A and B are shown apart, each in its own frame.
Chain A
Amino acid sequence: MSMDKLEQMLSSHFGYSGFRGGQKEIVQKIMQGKNVLGILATGGGKSITYQLPALLLPGVTVVVSPLISLMVDQVQRIRQRRTISAAYINSALDPTETRKLLTEIDQGRYRLIYISPEKLQQATILQRLKRRGVSLLAIDEAHCISQWGHDFRVDYLRLPDAVQQLGNPPVLAVTATATQHVRTEICRLFHIDEADVIAQSVNRPNIAFDLIEVSSEAQKREHVLEAVKSLQGPGIVYGRTRQTVDQLAFACMEEGVLRAQAYHAGMSAMERVLIQEQFLSGELDVIFATNAFGMGIDKPDIRYVLHYHFPGSLEEYAQEVGRIGRDGKPGYAGLYLNPEDAAIHQYMLANEYPVYEEVFRFVQLLATSSGHISALELAAMAGLPDESLDMLFFYAEQHGLVSQLTKTKDQYRYRLEKVDVSGAAMQISRTLEELKRTRKNKLMQMKSWLHEKDCLRQALSFYFEGQRATEYTAQCCSCCGLDRSFYEQQPFTQIQKKPDHWDLHGALRRLLPVRKEKEAITIE
């Protein structure tokens, strides 16, 4: 494949005039049939590295993606643009829809198929994909495979098996946030040669890093509300709890200066979509969000991200500030630090992993049920949060307590292997302890970054790459000296509220106009 051809495709199908750093190298290696690991900065354009090959390769390209919402979102947007025929397979589809989709895949209707990791374990799906011929298996957010990463997902660890069952197609793993440790693990699990790791610096030169110390909650609140009013938007403010973001948004809306909104997992799915759409279309100035917001958000002109609470790891921090300035223009990352903030993490950490007694109860329940149990009941009887069940089952399988584990809607089925209840419980909780230590460790590294004296940018890149990136475009960081007014809006613009007269007929007509096209229209 000549290089011109690749560039041509890039421009004709995606409308980009040239590749960004690392993209072309990755695509070329894929076209040579290599297994590749691509480490590109947040917003560096990882999607292109599998979407472009999908157009060129004979079979299908399968993309593993960690979040259903992320996958649905990407496919819907690809369909909107109509560049590639794409579909997704995940648990949101009902059996009829899945069957229909698999038939269409057989008929060769799709080039790009997004799939959730747990679906890529189902024998029927693996068989059908294999029969169709998988030319590339792309693994997005590949750091999720590492038990020592910040976002470990058990289903990812089962992916190497799936690769084998698909007949060992070439694998492309991509991520923005892999430490050396995680990088080595990804390479080992997917048989990627060191020579086929394409790593761009994850430093984002256009982002300036600011750390602001405050002495009380009230002061922090005041500072943050002041900042969102003066900074050039649009922006995101991250907080760790729903109440925090609700209250901040409320306060901000009440002043009526900004178009502000809260966003968190406690809101209905529809509200969340609406707010995301309003944000994307520029109808909002600031979003106050928990970390539920932002994964996969691709808005080029986000000008600032503020942290009301610091995240639990530098990886999360990098992902969150990474949403700033994807258009390459300058942007501002401000983190507010109150000595009391550490307590929130202590609390979360303490509650995230089941303790021995809980694990013991879980194991005992498994041992006394007859090979199947409903998730809800199990959670209720063992007194565990639903989210921890997948993890517990995974380790129960890893430690040989059960085998042939399958999960349907809300039933787990398994074969019980041995019944040394306390032995198994002990092993599982030891593993959990280890995970917890990893998280504690990540938290410590986050905290030590907060006490960095020399340069925040350099310290951040050192954590990921072992090298100190120094490059920046506008300003560096508060250690190096920073002038925030550079990121403030000038002149300050206040939104004009137009008083509106209610007119039902007019409002409905705007929504449902008299039909423009007479010919038949097809909808997807």
Chain B
Amino acid sequence: MERLSEQENLFVQMIALNGMKSLANERTLQAFYHILRGRRANQTLQDVHLFRLYPYYRLFPHLLREQWEEILQQLIGQGYIREKDLDRNKTTFVLTDEGEKWVSQGWTTYGVDQWLGLFHQHPWVNGHLQTFWLRLHLMVQTLSCLLEGNPSFYPVVQDRQIQSFVKSQLHDPTHRKRWMDGVFAELYKALEVLPSDIQPLLVKQFSGAHQTALTMQQLAYQEKLPPSLIRVKWRFGVASVMIQVKETPDLYPLLAALLPEEQSGGSQMSSSAQETYRLLQKQIPIEKIAQIRGITRNTVEDHLVDIAFHEPAWDASPYLTDEARRQILETSARLHTRRLRLIREALDDRYSYLQIRLALAIGEARR
């Protein structure tokens, strides 16, 4: 058997290459790193939408910059990608034929599509997966200890918000009783339909009265699979549970309560952007918003783009006329690019970067 660390390297390289290939010629070599890390910056969130990279967002939240650089070096070294100038001091890349061949081979070997496809069909899952999992995790640990009659324990989930959420669910005695009596059946029902190699990845990651959870890495050693593949499969498992619960809530009255509340319009807008949106709705100009909130104008502009993406009801016409939007989208389509500078030059600098970004965001959101 190949050493697990080598397998892990290859697997991560493959994920990276397959994910980033749609960014070839369009974005820098760092753009995909931010997506994997799940950066909340607007540019990153917009790239996720624009290039349909939902399965990759926050896939590896702890990937270090140095690790990413190493991945890139290896991809370049093996001739799978080639660097190419983008703008004055930015570098993008192209995918080579060997790269294409290598990645599609690996993709089939590991059967990655079966674990990722879900996220395309249900983009909402991604933004809520972490919260749902943590709530479920703490709920299981709490109930496990309650059922054992040993109600004081050390919670593995330290997040305050999650803790108060679970507390509030169990506060009322009748509701608590319902949880204690019903959790096993609901969880069993939700897990039973999963492939048998996915089930233990979830169950062994729970803590309880007589079980300390295993980490992803420890599971990887048990299963003799690369840790990142374990993570991919585990995410599939959690997402499947979430989707079942969401689609048939009457079958899962308890678990349904763990799904994070939808924000307005199902958006994944940052709370900071939401705050800006609130002020915008009061007709407060950009400059003033920046001043009130103690943030820069640039940040407010980022928020505007974010809002354009997520809030179909928002009226962007004070910043962007219909005519301008039409021209920008046309140019983008004609040049096959979403790069701001190219679009701006093609339109003789008639529109600001903000306007171009807004137009692309609105165009994309309505697709």
Cβ 8 A contact of B215, one of A275, A511, A516, A523: A275
Given A502-B199, A508-B187: A513 and B148 within 8 A (CB)? yes
B4 beta carbon closer than 8 Å to chain A: yes
A8 beta carbon closer than 8 Å to chain B: no
A interface footprint on B201-215 (CB within 8 Å = 1, 0 otherwise): 001101111111111
Given A80-B153, A243-B66: A510 and B160 within 8 A (CB)? no
B3 and A254 contacting across the interface, CB-CB below 8 Å: yes
A513 to B181, CA, bound (A): 10
Residues on B with C-beta less than 8 A from A522 are 151
A504 and B191 contacting across the interface, CB-CB below 8 Å: yes
Residues on B with C-beta less than 8 A from A92 are 160
B333 beta carbon closer than 8 Å to chain A: no
A15 to B306, CA, bound (A): 59
**Residue among A69, A253, A515 with most chain B CB within 10 A:** A515
B353 beta carbon closer than 8 Å to chain A: no
A473 beta carbon closer than 8 Å to chain B: no
Among A166-174, A205-213, A263-271, the one that faces the other chain is A263-271
Cβ 8 A contact of B294, one of A76, A374, A515: A374
B62 and A72 contacting across the interface, CB-CB below 8 Å: no
A253 to B5, CA, bound (A): 10
B294 and A372 contacting across the interface, CB-CB below 8 Å: yes
- Interchain nearest-CB distance for B96 vs A (Å): 29
B151 and A523 contacting across the interface, CB-CB below 8 Å: yes
A274 to B208, CA, bound (A): 12
B147 and A516 contacting across the interface, CB-CB below 8 Å: yes
- Interchain nearest-CB distance for A93 vs B (Å): 7
A274 and B144 contacting across the interface, CB-CB below 8 Å: no
A281 beta carbon closer than 8 Å to chain B: yes
B249 beta carbon closer than 8 Å to chain A: no
Given A507-B203, A509-B184: A274 and B151 within 8 A (CB)? no
Cβ 8 A contact of A524, one of B152, B213, B215: B152
- Interchain nearest-CB distance for B129 vs A (Å): 14
B173 and A504 contacting across the interface, CB-CB below 8 Å: no
Residues on B with C-beta less than 8 A from A517 are 149
A interface footprint on B121-140 (CB within 8 Å = 1, 0 otherwise): 00000000000001001001
Beta-carbon nearest neighbor of B134 in chain A: A270
B interface footprint on A104-131 (CB within 8 Å = 1, 0 otherwise): 0000000000000000000000000000
Given A242-B64, A283-B212: A512 and B152 within 8 A (CB)? no
A437 beta carbon closer than 8 Å to chain B: no
A243 to B199, CA, bound (A): 31
Beta-carbon nearest neighbor of A256 in chain B: B221
A453 beta carbon closer than 8 Å to chain B: no
A274 to B216, CA, bound (A): 11
A275 to B207, CA, bound (A): 12
A93 and B160 contacting across the interface, CB-CB below 8 Å: yes
Given A243-B66, A373-B294, A504-B203: A523 and B156 within 8 A (CB)? no
Given A377-B296, A512-B208, A523-B170: A274 and B156 within 8 A (CB)? yes
- Interchain nearest-CB distance for A290 vs B (Å): 13
B221 and A253 contacting across the interface, CB-CB below 8 Å: yes
- Interchain nearest-CB distance for B305 vs A (Å): 19
Q: Tell me the residues in window 80-103 of chain A with beta carbons closer than 8 Å to chain B beta carbons.
A: 80, 82, 92-94, 97
Tally of A-B Cβ pairs under 8 angstroms: 131
Residues on A with C-beta less than 8 A from B196 are 502, 504
Beta-carbon nearest neighbor of A410 in chain B: B294
A77 beta carbon closer than 8 Å to chain B: yes
**Residue among B183, B216, B218, B299 with most chain A CB within 10 A:** B218
A505 beta carbon closer than 8 Å to chain B: yes
Beta-carbon nearest neighbor of B142 in chain A: A523
- Interchain nearest-CB distance for A87 vs B (Å): 14
A278 to B156, CA, bound (A): 11
B140 and A515 contacting across the interface, CB-CB below 8 Å: no
Cβ 8 A contact of A511, one of B144, B151, B160, B295: B144
B159 beta carbon closer than 8 Å to chain A: yes
Residues on B with C-beta less than 8 A from A72 are 158
A79 to B152, CA, bound (A): 8
Residues on A with C-beta less than 8 A from B144 are 511-513
B90 beta carbon closer than 8 Å to chain A: no
Cβ 8 A contact of A510, one of B181, B187, B188, B211: B211
A270 and B157 contacting across the interface, CB-CB below 8 Å: yes
A295 beta carbon closer than 8 Å to chain B: no
Q: Tell me the residues in window 141-174 of chain B with beta carbons closer than 8 Å to chain A beta carbons.
A: 142-144, 146-149, 151-160, 164, 167, 170, 173
A512 and B187 contacting across the interface, CB-CB below 8 Å: yes
9 contacts between A and B (CB under 8 A): A273-B157, A377-B296, A411-B294, A511-B211, A512-B144, A513-B147, A514-B147, A516-B148, A523-B146
Known: A76-B154, A262-B217, A504-B196. 7 other contacts (CB 8 A): A270-B134, A270-B156, A274-B156, A278-B212, A508-B188, A510-B208, A520-B173
A residues apposed to B, CB below 8 Å: 69, 72, 76-77, 79-80, 82, 92-94, 97, 242-243, 250, 253-254, 256, 261-262, 266-271, 273-275, 277-278, 281, 283, 372-374, 377, 411, 502, 504-505, 507-517, 520-524
B residues apposed to A, CB below 8 Å: 3-5, 61-62, 64, 66, 134, 137, 140, 142-144, 146-149, 151-160, 164, 167, 170, 173, 180-181, 183-184, 187-188, 191-192, 196, 199-200, 203-204, 206-218, 221, 294-296, 299
9 A-B pairs with least C-beta separation? A517-B149, A511-B208, A512-B184, A516-B149, A523-B151, A507-B203, A515-B147, A273-B156, A278-B212
